[in-house]
Structure 1
């Protein structure tokens, strides 16, 4: 993990002012399992009263019918995006099957021993709908269904063009000044991405909330987790098991060598992975004994979305574009920060202060020097992330840097202190104290690790007697919040209309699918 120069003056150039942050957009994607009253994963289909999961823009499913995903559109303030997310939770809760609740944690609730009982998401009979379900079937045979039930928060953020224009105008490297504006933005966003990868341990320590796992999640799997209480497993100083070897992992991808040193190399790496056969996946076969497809293809990635990463460069696709096509044609429009645990204590999974911290960190990563990540540095990054995941709160935990070892707490304190001018910039831009308050909260977690979310989860899980008891208690508290949340008549009508439109759009797709699914699938094989 490199330690670029991080003095306040070098991070925040004198010419940057609060007006340059006007126009930041942020959006949130929150995943949440639906659980039955007995604590087990729901076996019921996605509620039809919520519309079509295939075409609804804001309420859909991820891997499973029981893994709901709530997606806000981009908003101009944290208040607006959290209010929108609250609306979505209230609507989703209103139409859950009787007795069901939204599970409040990243790590799943109780799972059946037979993981085939984890239902795959279904999207209807259109070719694109069947393709999406087949993709999930492929994930199941490649990695198992249990891993796919892990939930998280994805925080999307874009910075205004005025900031990038000023950054380019003040570049000392003449070649960067000569880039097209689109290419320059992509260059700077990739710098942000590299730094976010370097500083992901900050997110894991400060926002990590998955230090435990239900024993049902690790059935028939070797592990070194320790018994906590009532079937819950943990590591005493863990922060976010979701982000480690027990979480969302893909061993095949570690050999890909996809890097973020520039957009061209990144796109080439993803393209190769989507087209390159991978012998262990080929050995699984493409079809079952009845000739029905069980995975899209035998490539390292069935499609681009299979590439798991801490952060993604994003561009809104048009028509039939793949994510890579969109990036290749129009460059990076925003970044998706993907290493955030669901906050189990908050009804919508993320607080205002956590959102503010992520935005400060994103700007920090954008402005800070961002050299290319070498293989040696990537090895340190991987080692450090694992240390933070498994024993981040231990007083003797150290991180590896180019200059030697540093304690976790000294490293965290150094960078949070360096972020103070950025918090003031945000606060000045928004006429608030939210961002300074967010950093103060993060500093308190560094100075006293017992104040971290992960420490609270372990303490409260012991008090309640296990994963299901604690999660069920929180789920019920959150359900009361959703039930009391009032939508205006206009908003309610808007969401009602979205349901009708989504069902009509799915029906239109199904009627338009005249090509056989076999022919449709052949393009990807």
Structure 2
């Protein structure tokens, strides 16, 4: 485990390894609902022109046929990553006829959850498994929650940084173990201060009343326009009790103090029968409605704002990949779709995340017990519901502290991290980003949610009208722009090749679907 003082570590890195941080690798996964020109969710299948959702590495679907997912390859250039993301969206829009991409996290008007068509991945065993998993999600949580979109930010730190930290700490651990412990320390610190991400970049303070489908809520919603509900000082409904939550998972004590502990927690969840879902037929029945009857069908069902990851080999589960090679990168899952960016995330956010996650890595990170994890969730909930309340109090190490004071303290610590990164990269934008966003602490109107609510309130505008106008404008912008990174011929070829690959996957099946799942779960 890495134990160190942030400033001393930065001083040592600056003196002995001034460029060790250079070479951060990133990848982005952006989700977006396909909608009709009138703002209603699309019921059409996955656009044929973008190929197979199963085997296209860069354009696929998430829960439903209408929930597209754009995946950039790994890159050390944030500008390149955004260019790739923009091109993938431009190409997809060109294959969607008159349909649009919904530019916010909370879904458009949906009359009935049956309008949300499950994603189809073909009739291969793995394709059928993916769809059945989603059938399980529908029957466990309802489709409406699964229509929420987000942005996932993947990051890994350079080998030189890990080697430098390993040397500075005089660690006797194998480097791979040291790296895994370091990433887990980052995760613990991120969870402690996740609320700051919600405060700055939360962009889902409003929703269409259709989302509730008649459910009652104690949230202090105000009404706007024809059918908009919003939290006056809220930030990110997507991260709250109406979003990606799972009451059945509240008893799962998945901890982050060691890789073995984390894996054991997840493996227990995928092998523990559920009292809640046990009545739903699983894959062993003639008409299955879920993969199995456990608390988690598979590991991906575990809802967490941040995950340790390693690229898995064919047939390998995520946790087995971690046990095989240790943590390779981190997946941040706490970002709303940025409605003020046509790509769903902007350069300023990436630069802030670079600094913030480096700060989380280099800062001392004590172990985190279950009570502290619960406390971090309570702080997040408070910011989700009333983060722009200037009097809001959070709990830090058992003591009440104002959000403004705590955030200001964090930004003071981010300044030297940004300076080190600026020096390593020969730039000034990291410090400039921290300076700019620090002003958002006391001026909450600058935050995404502050700008969002102000925009709606100014025109007494429905949330749906606001998003639809953006969707139309962004489609025009994308289609009018030139490709920045990809050649469109390459994207077309990739689409065609993905269809051939899906056929190959089907042809390679040697087991029945039931036997395939028997084998999969036996290995898991």
- TM-score range relative to shorter protein: over 0.9
**Hey, what's the Cα distance between the residues in 2 that align with 1:18 and 1:68?**
41
Alignment partner, residue 99 of structure 1: 98
Partner of 1:39: 39
Q: CA deviation at 1:184?
A: 0.7
Q: Is the 8 A contact 1:464 1:470 kept in 2?
A: no
Residue 422 of structure 1: how far off its partner (Å):
1.4
Q: CA deviation at 1:466?
A: 0.5
Question: Which residue matches 2:506?
Answer: 510
- 1:260 is matched with 256
Query: Residue by residue, what CA displacement relative to the aligned partner does 1:285-320 show, whole Å, maximum 9, x if unpaired?
Result: 3279x9311100000110111011010101011121
Q: 2:468 aligns with which of 457, 472, 481?
A: 472
CA contact (8 A) 1:209 1:342 kept: yes
Distance 1:269 1:296 in 2: 20
How far has the Cα of 1:490 moved from its partner?
6.7
Q: Which residue of 1 aligns with 2:478?
A: 482
Contact map agreement 1:27 1:73 (CA 8 A) in 2: yes
Alignment check: 8 A CA contact 2:40 2:109 kept: yes
Contact 1:353-1:437 within 8 A present in 2 as well = no
Q: Which residue of 2 aligns with 1:345?
A: 340
Aligned twin of 2:201: 207
Return the match for 1:216 from 203, 207, 210. 210
Q: Distance in 1 between matches of 2:121 and 2:23?
A: 36
Partner Cα distance (1:359, 1:489) in 2: 22
Instruction: Output the CA distance in 1 between the equivalents of 2:371 and 2:315.
Output: 38
Residues 226 and 234 in structure 1, CA contact (< 8 A), matched pair in contact too:
yes
Is the alpha carbon distance of 1:489 and 1:326 closer, same or farther for their aligned partners in structure 2, counting shifts above 3 Å?
closer
User: What displacement does 1:99 show?
Assistant: 2.1
Q: State whether residues 233 and 385 of structure 2, in contact with CA within 8 Å, keep that contact through their aligned partners in structure 1.
A: yes
CA contact (8 A) 2:153 2:331 kept: yes
Q: State the 1:256 CA deviation.
A: 1.0
Instruction: Give the TM-score, by structure 2 length.
Output: 0.95
2:166 corresponds, among 165, 168, 176, to 168
For the pair 1:15 / 2:13, whether they are aligned, the reply is yes
* 1:369 aligned residue: 364
Aligned residues of 1:11 and 1:364 also touching (Cα < 8 A): no
The residue aligned with 2:142 is 144
SS in 2 for 1:12: helix
Does the residue aligned with 1:473 lie in a helix, a strand or coil? helix
Question: Which of 173, 177, 182 is residue 183 of structure 1 equivalent to?
Answer: 177
- What SS is found at the alignment partner of 2:276? helix
2:402 aligned residue:
407
Q: How many residues align?
A: 514
Matched residues in 2 for 1:107 and 1:48: separation?
26
Report SS of the residue matched to 1:13. Answer: helix
Farther off after superposition, 195-204 or 219-228? 219-228
Does the aligned pair in 2 maintain the 1:87–1:485 contact within 8 Å? no
SS of alignment partner, residue 255 of structure 1: coil
Q: In the alignment, is the contact (CA less than 8 A) between 1:310 and 1:338 conserved in 2?
A: yes
Q: How far off its partner does 1:464 sit?
A: 5.9
2: CA distance between counterparts of 1:50 and 1:449? 40
Q: Which residue of 2 aligns with 1:333?
A: 328
Q: Relative to structure 2, which stretch is displaced further, 144-153 or 490-499?
A: 490-499
> Distance between the aligned counterparts of 1:60 and 1:469, measured in 2?
27
Per the alignment, in what secondary structure is the counterpart of residue 127 of structure 2?
Answer: helix
RMSD: 1.8
Could you tell me whether the CA contact under 8 Å between 2:225 and 2:460 is conserved in 1?
no
Question: 3-state SS of the aligned residue for 2:163?
Answer: helix
Select between 215-224 and 257-266 the one with higher mean Cα deviation: 215-224
For residues 60-105 of structure 1, the C-alpha deviation after alignment (integer angstroms, 9 at most, x for no partner) is: 0000000000000111111111111111111111111x32110000
Note if contact 2:19-2:425 (Cα within 8 Å) is conserved in structure 1. Answer: no
Unaligned runs of 5+ in 1: none
Q: Distance in 2 between matches of 1:487 and 1:5?
A: 45
Q: Given the alignment, which residue of 380, 384, 387 partners 1:385?
A: 380
Q: Equivalents in 1 of 2:144, 2:85: separation in Å? A: 26
Say if 1:126 and 1:510, in contact at 8 Å, map to a contact too: yes
- State the distance in 1 between where 2:324 and 2:277 align: 31
Secondary structure of the equivalent of 1:279? Answer: coil
Does residue 275 of structure 2 align to residue 276 of structure 1?
Answer: no
Distance 2:93 2:498 in 1: 19
For residues 109-132 of structure 1, the C-alpha deviation after alignment (integer angstroms, 9 at most, x for no partner) is 1112x2122100000110110110
Q: 1:127 to 1:464 in 2, by over 3 A?
A: farther
Query: In structure 2, how many angstroms separate the alpha carbons of the residues matched to 1:316 and 1:379?
Result: 29
Q: Which SS does the other structure have where 1:60 is aligned?
A: strand
- Equivalent residues of 2:80, 2:485 under 8 A apart: no
In 2: Cα distance, 1:466 partner to 1:78 partner: 34
Give the C-alpha shift of residue 10 in structure 1. 4.2
Following superposition, the deviation at residue 395 of structure 1 comes to 1.2
Are positions 1:247 and 2:243 aligned together?
yes
1:196 equivalent in alignment to 2:206: no
Structure 1 residue 230 displacement after superposition = 2.3
CA distance 1:515–1:140, change in 2 (3 Å): same
Give 1:356 shift: 0.4
Partner of 1:83: 83
